[in-house]
Each structure stands twice: as structure tokens, then as C-alpha cells.
């Protein structure tokens, strides 16, 4: 089965350097390229809870609001995947796209296992030196748990 390079895009993390790296690596190794866009539902659930539990807003406006956010995230996902697809077509690389909703680490590992991924390319949010001691990124968790090589890029300013 042909090996794949996975480029992971998400609601809040993306960088063109990571996409370039993944495309170049896939071309060099003769692998396929898989673009995964993860929609973080935790964020929308949090917004819904804030409006209902703290703002005491009824279900209808809160639901409309979270639907608007989800719609926006999905559209952004298609746009991001589209960019990668164009690059893959230009370089004549086999391409596959997956969108997933849910917890970041779980969804990435699922795709790594189902698509025979040899290298996953992910983007990490920039954190200040001070905050690094107090917060653990989901990307760190992915590096620890992923059954393949994980290349991490820091997000661009």
C-alpha cells in the first residue's frame, strides 16, 4: 500500500510553510498527500455553554450562533484543503482530502491509521516562553501518541 504524507490543518492552526514542506516531502518520496482539516467542536460547544449558562440566552439564538460558527469553520476548511489540492495537482501528487469534527489528537490518529501515513505535518500555536511552562499543546500530545513521524511547524505571525 502506498505511503502518504499527512498535512493537518485546523480551525486555528495553519501555515504555508507546513504546506510547502508536506508537498515537497511527498514529491521527493513519491508518496501521496492527504490533507486533513479538523474542526474543533470544543470551541463551539464552549460558546453555546457561555450563551446559555452565563448569558441566559434561549436555545434558538444560541443554536443559530453555533451553527454560524460551524458553517464558517467548514468553509474555511474547504478553502484550506483547496489550496493544498492545487499545490498537489501542480506537482502531480496523488491527493486525498478528509474533514473531521471533534477532538484534534483523536481525529489525526484515526487518519494516520486509516491512510497509511508515514509522516504527519502539523502546526503548533505560538506560545510565550513563560506560558510554555504552564500549558501543554494538543500538538505535543499528538507527537507523543502518533504511530508515525510528526513534523511540527510553529504558526506564522
Q: Which residues bind other proteins (CB under 8 A)?
A: 11-12, 43-44, 46-47, 50-62, 64-65, 68-69, 72, 75-76, 102, 105-106, 109, 145
Cβ-based nearer residue to other proteins, 40 or 88: 40
Computed over its alpha carbons, how large is the radius of gyration of the chain?
17
Cβ-based nearer residue to other proteins, 30 or 102: 102
Least separation in angstroms between CB 59 and other proteins? 6
Secondary structure (3-state) at 95:
strand
Distances (CA, A) of 30 to 2, 14, 39, 95: 9, 24, 29, 12
Least separation in angstroms between CB 47 and other proteins? 5
Secondary structure (3-state) at 75:
helix
Distance between CA atoms of 119 and 85, rounded to whole angstroms?
Answer: 18
Cβ-based nearer residue to other proteins, 2 or 132: 132
Least separation in angstroms between CB 73 and other proteins? 8
Q: State the maximum Cα–Cα separation within the chain, in Å, rounded to a whole number.
A: 55
Cβ-based nearer residue to other proteins, 28 or 60: 60
Amino acid at each position: 500500500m502506498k505511503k502518504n504524507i499527512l498535512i493537518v490543518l485546523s480551525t486555528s492552526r495553519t501555515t504555508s510553510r507546513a504546506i510547502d514542506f508536506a508537498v515537497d516531502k511527498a514529491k521527493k518520496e513519491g508518496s501521496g498527500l492527504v490533507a486533513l482539516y479538523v474542526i474543533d467542536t470544543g470551541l463551539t460547544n464552549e460558546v453555546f455553554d457561555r450563551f446559555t449558562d452565563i448569558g441566559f440566552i434561549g436555545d434558538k439564538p444560541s443554536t443559530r450562533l453555533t451553527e454560524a460558527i460551524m458553517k464558517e469553520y467548514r468553509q474555511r476548511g474547504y478553502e484550506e484543503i483547496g489550496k493544498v489540492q492545487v499545490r498537489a495537482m501542480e506537482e502531480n501528487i496523488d491527493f486525498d482530502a478528509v474533514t473531521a469534527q471533534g477532538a484534534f489528537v483523536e481525529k489525526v490518529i484515526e487518519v494516520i491509521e486509516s491512510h497509511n501515513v508515514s509522516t504527519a505535518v502539523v502546526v503548533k500555536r505560538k506560545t510565550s516562553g513563560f506560558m510554555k511552562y504552564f500549558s501543554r499543546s494538543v500538538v505535543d500530545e499528538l507527537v507523543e501518541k502518533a504511530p508515525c513521524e510528526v513534523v511540527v511547524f510553529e504558526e506564522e505571525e
